[in-house]
Amino acid sequence: MNILLLKTLHIAGVFALFTSLGSILLAGSGKKGASMLHGISLVLVLLLGFAMLGKPPMHHAWWMIKLGLWLFIGVAPTLAKRKVLPSSIVLLLCLLAATYAAYLAIMKPF
């Protein structure tokens, strides 16, 4: 598939991910739909990320760091649910993690 189309879908996955995080963390929604959207969009973002990488450049660290940020955004609802951190702080950290993930993809500093 065209790389730009993959990138567009990857970003669309991020939109869906943050729609679910807004619902879970801000509105305190325990609805099944919100958790499903969170899980499905997480998988989409990951698969499309690897589809763009093709053969992952093992000598680059930026995409491995993105993997860690992706993992954090994945466990974020559990952190709020178990009251490890307040929901608003978890959402703020997710926004910072996503901003850093975008920066890493654009600048590829390492």
Q: Which residues bind ligand HEM (CB under 6 A)?
A: 7, 10-11, 14, 45-46, 49-50, 52-53, 63, 66-67, 69-70, 73, 98, 101-102, 105-106
Selection from 44, 32, 106 nearest residue 73 by Cα: 44
If the CB atoms of residues 74 and 81 are measured against ligand HEM, the closer one turns out to be 74
Between 14 and 91, CB nearer to ligand HEM: 14
90 and 80 Cβ atoms separated by less than 8 Å = yes
Q: Which residue is nearest to ligand HEM (CB)?
A: 49
- Shortest approach of ligand HEM to residue 90 CB, angstroms? 14
Rounded Cα distance between 17 and 19, Å, is 6
**What backbone phi and psi angles, to 5 degrees, belong to 59?**
-85, 0
